[in-house]
Amino acid sequence: MRQKIDKIPARLDLTQSVTGLILGLFIMGHLIFEASILVSNEMMYKVTVMFEGYYFLGQTHPAIVSLLAGFISIVFIAHAGIAMRKFPANYKQFKTMQKHISIFNHDDTSLWMVQAFTGFIMFFIGSVHLYMMIAQPEHIGPFASSNRVVHEFMGPLYVLLLLSVVSHAFIGLYRLALKWGFMEGKDYRASRKRFKILMKAFIAIYLILGSLSLAKYTYIGMTHDFSTCAKYKSKTINLEQH
Ligand code: HEM
C-alpha cells in the first residue's frame, strides 16, 4: 500500500515564506513613508492622513490604521509562530547546531543564526510597537510621534527595533530568493554573489534612512514646545495647528 505524503511541512514552509515576503515588503514601504519627516513636518502629516483615508473618504479615520496594524500583527504572529518549529528545543540541540555551524563555516548557514536572534528580539519589541499602533492610531503625526520617541521613551526601543528589523528583513528576502530559486541564472555562484551585495546595500541604505528619521523625530521631540501647540493632530486637516 502506498503511504500518503504528509504535506503539512511543505505548507508550513510556504506559509513562512509568504508571510515573510508580506512583512519584508511592508517594512520597506513603512520606513520610506515614515522618512517623510525628513522632507518636512507637513509631508509626514500628509502621509499620516493619507493612511487614515483622508484623500479617499474626505475625513480622517484612524481606525483604518488600527485595522492595518491588526492585519500586520496577525501576519507577524503567524510568521514567528511557524518559525519557532525550527528553533532548537533544548541546550543539547543548541550545542549540536552551534557545532554544526562552526564546522560547516558557511556564510548562508550562519545567516540563519542572525535570523533566529533578530527574530527573537523583534517578537518582544515589535509587539509593543504594534500594540501601540492598534490602540492609539490617532496619536501618529510629526509631533505626536516625536513626543512618543522622546517623552514616552520609545527612542531606545526603536533603535533596537530598527537594527533587528532591517537586518532580519533583508537577510530574509535574500534567503527567500535563494530558497525559491530566483538567483539561479547562468552562473548561480555569480548570481548569489550579486544578490548578497544587493542585500548588504539595502541593509546599509535602510539603516541610514531609519537612523536619520529617528534623529529628526528626536530633534523635534526635544525642541518643540508641546505646551503651546496641540500635541496630537486634530480631526481636520489644518497644518497650522500642528
Ligand atoms: C501597521 C502597522 C504599523 C504602523 C501603523 C507603524 C507606524 C509607525 C510610526 C508612526 C512610526 C514613527 C514613530 C512613532 O510614531 O512611534 C514607526 C516607527 C518605527 N516602526 Fe512602525 N508601524 C507599524 C508596524 C511596524 C512593524 C511590524 C515593525 C517591525 C517589526 C515596525 C518597525 C518600526 C521601526 C524600526 C520604527 C523606527 C523607525 C526609524 O528608525 O525611522 N513598525 N512606526
- pLDDT tens digits for range 22-48: 999 999 999 999 999 999 999 999 999
Give 207 Cα–ligand 1 centroid separation in angstroms. 14
What is residue 241's predicted lDDT score, i.e. its pLDDT? Answer: 46
Given a cut of 50, whether residue 15 has pLDDT beyond it is yes
DSSP assignments along 145-176, one per residue? HHHHHHTT--HHHHHHHHHHHHHHHHHHHHHH
Instruction: Indicate whether residue 215 lines ligand 1 (CB < 6 A).
Output: no
What is residue 152's predicted lDDT score, i.e. its pLDDT? Answer: 94
What is residue 233's predicted lDDT score, i.e. its pLDDT? Answer: 55
Domains of the chain, by residue range, sit at 8-86+106-241
**Topology of domain 8-86+106-241, CATH:** 3 helical TM bundles of succinate and fumarate reductases (1.20.1300)
Percentage of the chain modeled with pLDDT above 90: 70
Angle between helices 188-223 and 155-179 (to 10 degrees): 160
Over the stretch 128-172, which tens digit does the pLDDT of each residue have?
A: 999 999 999 999 999 999 999 999 999 999 999 999 999 999 999
Q: For 202-214, what is the mean pLDDT? A: 98
DSSP assignments along 7-44, one per residue? -HHHHHHHHHHHHHHHHHHHHHHHHHHHGGGGT-HHHH
Q: How confident is the model at residue 191 (pLDDT cuts 50, 70, 90)?
A: confident
Q: Using the atom order of ligand 1, give the atom closest to the CA of residue 68.
A: 1
Instruction: Indicate whether residue 162 lines ligand 1 (CB < 6 A).
Output: yes
What is residue 108's predicted lDDT score, i.e. its pLDDT? Answer: 79
- What DSSP designation does 224 have? S
How far apart are alpha carbons 12 and 18 in whole angstroms? Answer: 10
What is residue 234's predicted lDDT score, i.e. its pLDDT? Answer: 44
Given a cut of 60, whether residue 238 has pLDDT beyond it is no
Q: How confident is the model at residue 190 (pLDDT cuts 50, 70, 90)?
A: confident
Give 179 Cα–ligand 1 centroid separation in angstroms. 28
What is residue 88's predicted lDDT score, i.e. its pLDDT? Answer: 86
Instruction: Indicate whether residue 214 lines ligand 1 (CB < 6 A).
Output: yes
Given a cut of 80, whether residue 232 has pLDDT beyond it is no
- What DSSP designation does 230 have? -
How far apart are alpha carbons 24 and 70 in whole angstroms? Answer: 17
Given a cut of 70, whether residue 212 has pLDDT beyond it is yes
Instruction: Indicate whether residue 146 lines ligand 1 (CB < 6 A).
Output: no
Number of residues assigned to the chain: 242
Q: What angle do CA 68, 74, 78 make, to 5 degrees?
A: 150
Q: What is the pTM of this model?
A: 0.91
Over the stretch 74-108, which tens digit does the pLDDT of each residue have?
A: 999 999 999 988 888 899 998 888 888 888 777 77
Phi, psi of 152 (to 5 degrees): -105, 15
* Cβ-proximal residues to 127 (8 Å cutoff; 6+ apart), any chain: 73, 76
Average pLDDT score, the chain? 90
Instruction: Indicate whether residue 76 lines ligand 1 (CB < 6 A).
Output: yes
Given a cut of 50, whether residue 236 has pLDDT beyond it is no
What is residue 1's predicted lDDT score, i.e. its pLDDT? Answer: 64
Instruction: Indicate whether residue 129 lines ligand 1 (CB < 6 A).
Output: yes
